[in-house]
Chain A
Amino acid sequence: MRSSNKLKVSLAATAVASLIAVTGCAANQPAGSAGGGTDKLEITSWWTSGSEADALNVLIDGVKKSSSGLSVDNAAVSGGGGANARQALAARLQAGSPPDSWQLHPAGQLKSYVDGGQVADLTDLWTQNNWAAQMPKDVAEAQQVGGKYYTVPIGVHRGNVLWTNPAVLSKANVTIDSATGVDGLIGSLKQVQAADVTPVCLGDKDIFASAELLESIIMSRTGADNWKKLFTGGYSFDSPEVKQALEDYKTILSLSNKDHSAITWDEAAKKMANGSCAVNLMGDWAYGELLNAGKKPGTDFSWVTFPGKEDVFDYVGDGFSIPAKNIPHADAANAWLKTLMDPKIQTEFAAKKGSIPALTTADISKLSPYQQEAAKSFAKASVVSSLAHAQASTAEFAQTYADAVSTLNGSGNVSAFVASMTQAQKTQLK
């Protein structure tokens, strides 16, 4: 008995030891946390895919040129539409060892960092350089919380773009026109289905892809003003327009590839360009991704604004902030922010990333036809913030929305979605 007990103990000990060895207990060491000179700069972002990484390199090369001898530590974290990077950042902020600068979305997401006292007030830098005068009012306002600037915008993305495959559409003898609204779109997609082709490519392994499709439909049905009121409590998720949008969403989901929850957004965009289906809704970061995959705009893929009752621009902004406390390399961080606001850098960045420059002083004539079109639309469309990217409201509200979309994808239960969102409107919008 005793020997078998000893054996048991030694077995358990070996197993525990090997578990620890295999699973690994290495701690995350934040890089570059010492010193205060200009020789080093650490930045975090969620730009890791091909086109995103290329665009980020434009910025890194730019800041290296402006301050010679600077070494830049690119601490990008991939996945989850930025959710993973934000988790990693939250852990570092909590530990008091922030990077020199980090990527974030303006408005709602910026506000949670401001409320937490984590981002530095950049108002002086803005007034010194007169940046506000060089960009549309909507963009400048989104960089503020309580009248003060806390971030600089590097680019403007559009969330509600419908990417199309011209060959598939013409084979099915279907055209998609933004002016025909959501009903027109569903009619066209059903025609595609009748021609024995999957109408919609969707890749929502990361739920933001579904969340973005649904928000595009909701803002198409409600219009820009009511969309904005959803986040102030002035308009309910329990309204006929939102419910109609949810039914539309279910229809479009039924017209999508069956394996949508198993593939990622970029895989879905490429599937569309390869002719597996006719359309794919995705923000215009898909443009850079498709170019990177060797697809030709106009022939392999084309685009329309997501059809709706008015021209709505679903704004997903990218910006950078610097920490309010414990900044490791303050001078390098300042040089970094100034580099981001250089019109030439913004143009170069936009060319790689597929976004449009936030600065109107940036030259867009050399950008792609899509970007020139988006820049023009941005100037005249109604601009609203994206909820799927936690820009329209707080992180908590955005997470509730993402969870509700996941639930809806499984059950198709519209009233449960409406119930949880109206509840969130009551309790979370304060």
Chain B
Amino acid sequence: MRTSFRPPASAGLRPKKQVPHNVKTSRRAAWIFAPSLLVSFVFVYVFIGVTVYISLSNWKIGTSPNLSLREPFGGTYGEIIQEQRFQADIRNVVIFTVIFLVLAILGGLVAALFIHHVAVGKGLFRTVFLLPYALSFIVTGVAWRWIFSPSTGVNQILRNLGIENPPGWTTDTTVLGALNDPTGTDFLKVQFGIPVALLPIIFAAGWQLVGFAMAMYLAGLASIPEEHLEAASVDGANTWQRLRHIVLPQLWPSTITCFVLLLHVALKIFDLVVAMSGSGPGFVTDVPGIYIYNYLSSRYDKASAMAIILLLLTLAVIVPYLIRGYRRERKA
């Protein structure tokens, strides 16, 4: 596609009828894309606009709309950022996203390298790693809830091994590496740090999405030309050097794709948390998705404001990525 938009520096060499042909194709392309552009405009951008408006309105009960603007302007945002629950949600979603991405992407890379190099049972391992991804979060969430149940689950095994005080898993309210000590009536009402209760949920999510990252990396690995690796071997590069200087750089596009696709899984996480722990004591495992759900019927404006904040969080990461990709494309 891109070649057709280049300035016709070499056009003189080509037969003249080629240019109208290209114009015709791009016109046809515009017609083909028009319906989907229109649909995505209405269902994405118009709806975002409506949600922004609702978040600024007085609409409380979900089923009886009140579209008058709230005084003072944006009061709902001012209200929710002071809430302990909101602050806990933002902390949780940031911690969840960071650890989950690292876990799933590294896990996927290791699994892909392992399967790519293993001599026997490639198909078997691939299936084993991919299988969890095919299941619903609700299904795996229920199983993980039983596994991490403090009184039964995995703690039963730990107790049999002689560990007297096994972890409380999702019931633990400890915050690791807390940066502040809130009294509960100041503006900052939560401890910012890593909530221990979130770790089993991050682990479960990581376990489920490792197969997805692995599939991405396997495709990336398959596209690395064998000659590059052979040439490096001839030049005396060892396994680590080949991985570090040839394989990993060429997997970078796969990493970026994984990052973007897994990021929105992390930011929108809802079902897994609902099945595993719910909001948790003091909202240690609450996430924006549950917040929105809880307030849908009693405070439509608050639920909408949270949805917009969630959107802004996503944009904060995605927009720099898009800008970078756009610049690179223009350079090429």
Binding site for B on A (CB under 8 A): 1, 3-5, 7-8, 11-12, 15-16, 19, 22, 83, 86-87, 90, 93-94, 112-113, 115-118, 204-207, 257-263, 394-396, 398-399, 403, 406-411, 413, 415-416, 419-420
B219 to chain A, nearest CB (A): 6
- B261, B282, B297: the one contacting A411 at CB < 8 Å is B282
Q: Is B216 an interface residue (CB 8 A)?
A: yes
Known: A116-B64, A396-B299, A406-B282. A259 touches B173 (CB 8 A): no
Q: Is B298 an interface residue (CB 8 A)?
A: yes
- A86, A90, A206, A262: the one contacting B171 at CB < 8 Å is A262
Q: Is B61 an interface residue (CB 8 A)?
A: yes
**Which residues of the partner chain B approach A117 to less than 8 Å between Cβ atoms?**
64
User: In chain B between 282 and 309, which residues have their CB closer than 8 angstroms to a CB of chain A?
Assistant: 282-284, 286, 293-299
Known: A11-B219, A205-B278. A262 touches B145 (CB 8 A): yes
Q: Is B140 an interface residue (CB 8 A)?
A: no
The chain A residue with its CB closest to the CB of B145 is: A262
CB <8 Å contact, B62 and A90 = yes
> Could you list 18 examples of A-B contacts with CB < 8 Å?
A8-B253, A11-B216, A93-B63, A115-B64, A116-B61, A259-B150, A262-B148, A263-B149, A395-B61, A396-B299, A406-B279, A406-B281, A406-B282, A407-B84, A407-B184, A415-B185, A416-B84, A416-B184
Known: A257-B151, A261-B171. A205 touches B298 (CB 8 A): no
Q: Is B51 an interface residue (CB 8 A)?
A: no
Known: A8-B257, A411-B184, A416-B185. A259 touches B298 (CB 8 A): no
**Which residues of the partner chain A approach B283 to less than 8 Å between Cβ atoms?**
403, 406-407, 410
CB <8 Å contact, A415 and B184 = yes
**Which residues of the partner chain B approach A16 to less than 8 Å between Cβ atoms?**
261
The chain A residue with its CB closest to the CB of B137 is: A23
CB <8 Å contact, A116 and B63 = yes
The chain B residue with its CB closest to the CB of A257 is: B151
Known: A259-B150, A409-B281, A411-B282. A15 touches B216 (CB 8 A): yes
C-alpha gap A410/B320 in the complex (Å): 37
User: In chain B between 259 and 293, which residues have their CB closer than 8 angstroms to a CB of chain A?
Assistant: 261, 277-284, 286, 293
CB <8 Å contact, A7 and B223 = yes
User: In chain B between 193 and 237, which residues have their CB closer than 8 angstroms to a CB of chain A?
Assistant: 212, 216, 219-220, 223
**Which residues of the partner chain B approach A420 to less than 8 Å between Cβ atoms?**
84
CB <8 Å contact, B63 and A94 = yes
Q: Is B254 an interface residue (CB 8 A)?
A: yes
CB <8 Å contact, A399 and B145 = no
Contacts A207-B279, A395-B61, A419-B185 aside, 11 further interface pairs with beta carbons under 8 A come to A7-B223, A11-B220, A15-B212, A94-B63, A115-B64, A204-B281, A396-B60, A406-B282, A407-B84, A408-B282, A409-B282
Report, nearest first, the 5 A-B pairs whose CB atoms are least far apart: A410-B282, A416-B184, A116-B64, A395-B298, A413-B184
Known: A11-B257, A261-B281, A406-B282. A4 touches B63 (CB 8 A): no
C-alpha gap A420/B83 in the complex (Å): 9
CB <8 Å contact, A413 and B183 = yes
CB <8 Å contact, B62 and A94 = yes
- B133, B277, B297: the one contacting A87 at CB < 8 Å is B297
C-alpha gap A171/B220 in the complex (Å): 66
C-alpha gap A8/B171 in the complex (Å): 41
CB <8 Å contact, A112 and B85 = no
A196 to chain B, nearest CB (A): 15
CB <8 Å contact, A403 and B257 = no
- B61, B212, B223, B250: the one contacting A115 at CB < 8 Å is B61
**Which residues of the partner chain A approach B282 to less than 8 Å between Cβ atoms?**
406-411
A82 to chain B, nearest CB (A): 11
Known: A407-B282, A407-B283, A410-B284. A399 touches B223 (CB 8 A): no
